[in-house]
Structure 1
């Protein structure tokens, strides 16, 4: 499950992706439109700015805007920035690998084996899905449906 902070970050980025290219959007406008507490949104946007996903402009017509095209901002990257590693087990993490203290043999670990496929499939979808895809999904398109074969489920 993603955190509320990650959900707000994604909502804010989608809101910025919907604004006219090159035109900053004020925090108060995003907060009101997306129903995000403004002080929490400020913290989130500062974090996203430090990570290079958004830019800020000062002044009367200032605000935030995307630092790249929506098609270049992957949801997996956003979630890692906001929530940290996505792996369900530390021994599966690509960015924060840590051997499990109670596991003498990773290769023979049944828990790791079960979650490996789930994790790899989830990561593939998240890393392939972009803000542009999220905008399309809001319009009824589902870009990730072809990523997982659900016919046998």
Structure 2
């Protein structure tokens, strides 16, 4: 008779950690975080931060997210720290403006999102287009994770 313990039916591993960064942490990085949380639930640990965080979330970003059922409830702009970068499995910067510190062993990805204002599109229409661009990238990221 075989005395070996049975192998677990599924492998247990920690949830991947994703950190989204932008300058103010009130718009694009918050959108990416909310969209990933909405799609992944507890399967991914999601956070966001800013290099120079603002005072609050962008109202148009929040409204655009609400329209697709992605919540920013309880979120606020946070200051990026090197520790946040070190514990993340993926660090993703949204936009070209944010400059991050060089942290040994940390690879930073950059998503240059569509900017509809460059085509004269503003307001809620602009924000929905930005959201849709980020959402497509988030779906690809989730598939990779």
Q: TM-score range by the shorter chain?
A: under 0.3
Per residue, is there more helix in 1 or in 2? 1
1 or 2 for the larger relative contact order (CA 8 Å, sep ≥6)? 2
- Which is richer in strand? 2
